Amino acid sequence: MHVIKPLTPEQLRTGLFAYSSPDGALDARFNRGTGRVDATGKGFWPPEVAADYFGNWAAMVGAIHDAGKALRAVVDLSKTAIQALDVAGLIGVCGALHGGDDRVALVVPSALMTLQMRRVLDPTCHRFVTSHSAAEVWIAEESRRLRAAA
């Protein structure tokens, strides 16, 4: 049984929707047309909730790539706890889906959280920042830089 409903093919095809965990600890808003995802994580995530959430994340990234877009995501983890190793492993599995011109900015609350995320996420595609505005600036700068290099 899923804690978070899997995304439907219709949702992925239309590509403009939001989903969240029942307790609101994890949520995401997705726009396939632009490749943009805005997500929030709060507190400590039970493994079964994280597995469903990241299953949907993988489907979103696949839909963005299928549309010929690169992922642009801002993930606000400023109210998130350090996660259990199995949940951190799920984060790493999802992070491995990001590559090429994908960019994900993570707003982290502490150096300890940054260390946990750095262990499982590729620094080429991911940046760890302390504010939402810094995340937006990095995403915009990277988008400009990658367009100019193309």
What does the pLDDT look like over 127-141, one tens digit per residue?
Answer: 999 999 999 999 999
Per residue in 23-53, pLDDT (tens digit) is 889 999 998 888 999 999 999 999 999 999 9
Q: How far is CA 64 from CA 70, 72, 117, in A?
A: 7, 10, 23
The whole-angstrom separation of Cα 87 and Cα 120 is 11
How much is the pLDDT for 134?
97
Q: Is the pLDDT of residue 107 over 80?
A: yes
pLDDT for the residue numbered 6: 85
Summarize pLDDT for 58-99 with one digit per residue, the tens.
Answer: 999 999 999 999 999 999 999 999 999 999 999 999 999 999
Task: Identify the pLDDT of residue 1.
Answer: 59
Q: Is residue 103 a contact partner of residue 82, using CB atoms and an 8 Å limit?
A: no
Q: What integer pLDDT is reported at residue 13 of this predicted model?
A: 81
What fold, for 9-149?
Transcription Regulator spoIIAA (3.30.750)
Whole-angstrom distance, CA of residue 104 vs CA of residue 52: 20
For the chain, the domains span: 9-149
Q: How far apart are CA 75 and CA 62, in angstroms?
A: 18
Model pTM above 0.85: yes
Asked if 28 and 56 count as a contact pair (C-beta separation under 8 A), the reply is yes
